[in-house]
């Protein structure tokens, strides 16, 4: 049976490719999904994007029975204790992903309330960060 990995994208990430391409790049979420499908042919992916925090909490709960998850919470990174708590309650490998290097940007972007609830953080690698996150999740499968 193929491992199932959730790739969750939060608020405003549906506008990738249009919103501030000089910061976030020109690839869309659809482009990133195609890259992951090509790079990891034996993996079943569940791709989700929402601009609604409660819906994201539900997605995280669904991922509890999967091989793991990669999550780009967008701006929720900096203030969503609801996402923190949902991630903390899920015991699969979890990776927080950011396209840009949040540590080199505005000071408020440097603090993540989500990071303490995940196993790893990838930032500043653009779309490649999603590949690194999925590879990490798969490497941790069963060995947690």
User: Is 98 annotated as catalytic?
Assistant: yes
Long-range contact set of residues 99-104: C-beta below 8 Å, sequence gap at least 24: 99/16, 99/23, 99/24, 99/25, 99/72, 99/124, 99/125, 99/126, 99/127, 99/129, 100/23, 100/24, 100/124, 102/77
Catalytic entry in 98, 103, 128, 130: 98
Catalytic entry in 24, 52, 79, 130: 24
User: Is 84 annotated as catalytic?
Assistant: no
Distance CA 95, CA 7 (A): 10
CB 86 within 8 A of CB 111: no
Instruction: Name the residues annotated as catalytic.
Output: 24, 98
């Amino acid at each position: 049976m193929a491992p199932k990995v959730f790739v969750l994208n939060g608020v405003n990430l549906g506008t990738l490719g249009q919103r501030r391409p000089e910061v976030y790049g020109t690839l869309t979420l659809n482009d990133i999904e195609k890259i992951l499908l090509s790079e990891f042919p034996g993996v079943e992916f569940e791709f989700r994007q929402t601009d609604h925090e409660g819906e994201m909490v539900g997605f995280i709960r669904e991922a509890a029975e999967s091989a793991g998850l990669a999550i780009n919470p967008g701006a929720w990174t900096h203030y969503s204790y609801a996402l923190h708590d949902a991630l903390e309650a899920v015991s699969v490998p979890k990776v927080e992903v950011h396209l840009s290097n949040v540590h080199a940007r505005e000071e408020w972007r440097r603090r993540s309330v989500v990071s303490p609830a995940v196993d790893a953080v990838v930032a500043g690698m653009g779309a490649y960060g999603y590949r690194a996150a999925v590879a990490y999740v798969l490497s941790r499968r069963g060995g947690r």
